[in-house]
Amino acid sequence: MPKPKVLISEDSIKQRIATLSQEITKAASEDIVIVVLLKGAFIFTADLLRSLSDSGLQPEVEFMTLSSYGSGTKSSGHVRVHGDIPLELDGKTVLIVDDILETGNTLVKARQLLSQSGASDVKICVLLQKRITATPEIQADFVGFEIDDHFVVGYGLDYDNRYRELPYIGLL
């Protein structure tokens, strides 16, 4: 397999997560529930959570698995929900964490499901946001990096379930 070219280095990610977690801590209530969108956001959230803990936040953590890509490099537009969704969210403030915001279909679906589970406020944090020509259907409250419209892998993001282990964001 070819080694992806570095787009965002391991160091830049570390530094950005440190400032991002301060932004989140300032804005968030203490009893926040973080909902991790699997699979892509697992590495980002693991680092973000520990950084949030450094800034004094002790969130609950839930997981939800959604997919829109299948095995290709283009969004299918159809978001599939796999497995359980967090149910006990009555009146809670939720922060959805995802790897990347492109069309927004995934996050629209996630927000809808979590509101149905009783969340009173749903905020969104993404590591990456793509600059695309179409306006995404949803805004993220916290964005790590804006990137041009490339297909990226690494740091949790895959191509056909590969490359998630890379410590940086790379271009195939």
Smallest distance, Mg ion to C-beta of residue 152, A? 12
Asked if residue 112 lies in contact with residue 106, where contact means CB atoms within 8 angstroms, the answer is: no
Residues 124-163 that bind ligand 5GP (CB under 6 A): 151-153, 157-159
Residues 35-64 that bind Mg ion (CB under 5 A): 40
Q: Provide the 8-state DSSP code for 21.
A: H
CB of 57 or CB of 101, closer to ligand 5GP: 101
Stretch that binds ligand 5GP, among 8-16, 27-35, 82-90, 94-102 (CB under 6 A): 94-102
Beta bridge partners of 60: 33
CB of 85 or CB of 100, closer to ligand 5GP: 100
What is the residue whose two structure tokens read 């969130």? 59
Beta bridge partners of 171: 5, 152
Residue 104 lies near Mg ion (rule: CB under 5 A): no
Amino acid identity for residue 5 in this structure: K
Centroid of chain to Cα 168 = 15
Amino acid identity for residue 113 in this structure: L
Position of minimal CB gap to Mg ion: 40
- Site of interaction with ligand 5GP (CB under 6 A): 40, 68-69, 75, 98-106, 151-153, 157-159
